[in-house]
Amino acid sequence: MRPDLSVAVVAGREDTDREDVLDVLRCRRTLIRGLCSKGINAYPVDITREDFFGRNRIARKIMEKSPSCVFNLFEGLSDASWLEIQFAEILESLGVPFTGNRSGTLALCLDKDLARRKLAVAGLPVAPGRCVLPDYGPDVTEGLKFPLFVKPRMEDSSVGIDGRSVVDSPEELFRILDERLASFPDGLIVEEFLSGSEFNAGFLGSWPYELMAVSSINYNFGEGVRPYLGYDSKWEQESSDYKNSVSIAEEGIDPKLRKEIVRISREAGKVMGCRGYFRVDLREHGGKLFVLEVNPNPDINTDSGFAKQVARRGYSYADMAVRLVRIALNGRTPHEEKPLREGDRVPAAGKKDRCLFRA
């Protein structure tokens, strides 16, 4: 790396006690220490809500010290996750190299309905389900088998997923739909709950990507409890859900199953146009693997599952940080990365849709 290299490590800052938001700031401090330990001039840049109101305000903040690269940790704001897409578009317009995924991939992955359809068209397995909007009708369960899983269409970090997200009857489903559509008017994803083992695979770079590791999720929720990762199990360290769900890298996974996890995950990353770093979450059900999500912005803090995968691969945390900067500076384009098309769009009522497709 060049001795004069400078990296602006950008994160959102707001007045909140949400653990997923605060975790990004902790991650930034660790990344800066790691980059500086490798002789790179790394420094923090805060993006606030007010920055989106002023003309060119974000651009001036980013370019104030003429960074060689932006380490992009901005994941939107607590009530506006879609701003991560707008921020990436600004970075693209500035022409400054930045870590992680481009705006088109962030948009695809944030919209879980669009992501499901994109993956299915490519021949990748997703759970049977559909997007439900506020004007839904009584046939919303047609063709689906209970129990069903309900999650927000356009949120990340497991926001809106809790102990009531699995429902067993139409009556229970309609109650939760009405309640949660009031909080998430951009829609909900309702899909069949997959009861098998859960896995994820982490990758760096561009297609065909460098596999970090395959992990399994070890649940210890007790008999009769349906295991899945909700908000508490990811962020609330004092909760029983957090303590009883552990990510374990490369242990106890059948080699044949592992090979299939890696194959499907690589293909899913290619379909979504991923680059830099990403994670694919999968579940086994009835002897078959299903893609739950392609996460283009996974938690990379020192205690994250992704960091465990990186360590299993043999990289130190600082090594990972430098590698991500190097990938950004190389500027390689993912295999067959294509812009979103108007024909891919799903009509929806929410304001967030306007950020996904520009006129």
Question: Two tokens at 211?
Answer: 């596999």
Helices 317-330 and 305-313 meet at what angle, rounded to 10?
A: 90
Amino acid at 22: L
> Which of 3.30.450.20, 3.40.50.20, 3.40.50.720, 1.10.645.10 would CATH assign to domain 6-100?
3.40.50.20
Distance (Å, rounded) from C-alpha 159 to C-alpha 220?
22
Domain limits of the chain?
Answer: 6-100
Distance (Å, rounded) from C-alpha 299 to C-alpha 146?
31
Return the bridge partners of 215, or none: 200, 249
pLDDT tens-place values along the chain, 359 residues long: 566 899 999 999 999 888 888 999 999 999 999 999 999 999 999 999 999 998 799 999 999 999 999 999 999 998 889 999 999 999 999 999 999 999 999 999 999 999 999 999 999 999 999 999 999 999 999 999 999 999 999 998 889 999 999 999 999 999 999 999 999 999 999 999 999 999 999 999 999 999 999 999 998 877 777 888 888 878 788 888 778 889 999 999 999 999 999 999 999 999 999 999 999 999 999 999 999 999 999 999 999 999 999 999 999 999 999 999 999 999 743 333 334 343 334 333 344 444 443 32
> Which residues are CB-contacts of 355 (< 8 A; sequence separation ≥ 6)?
82, 83, 85, 86, 107
pLDDT at 350: 45
> Which residues are CB-contacts of 92 (< 8 A; sequence separation ≥ 6)?
102, 103
The CB-side HSE value for 201 (13 A sphere, CA atoms) comes to 24
pLDDT at 51: 96
CA distances 37 to 30, 113, 207, 317, 325, Å, are 11, 42, 29, 11, 14
The torsion angles phi and psi of 300, rounded to 5 degrees, stand at -120, 25
Helices 19-37 and 317-330 meet at what angle, rounded to 10?
A: 90
pLDDT at 18: 86
pLDDT at 356: 43
Distance (Å, rounded) from C-alpha 220 to C-alpha 241?
9
Amino acid at 167: V
The CB-side HSE value for 331 (13 A sphere, CA atoms) comes to 8
- The shares of helix, strand and coil residues in the chain, as percent rounded to the nearest 5, are 40, 20, 40
Q: Is the dihedral of CA 36, 203, 268, 26 positive or negative?
A: negative
pLDDT at 221: 77
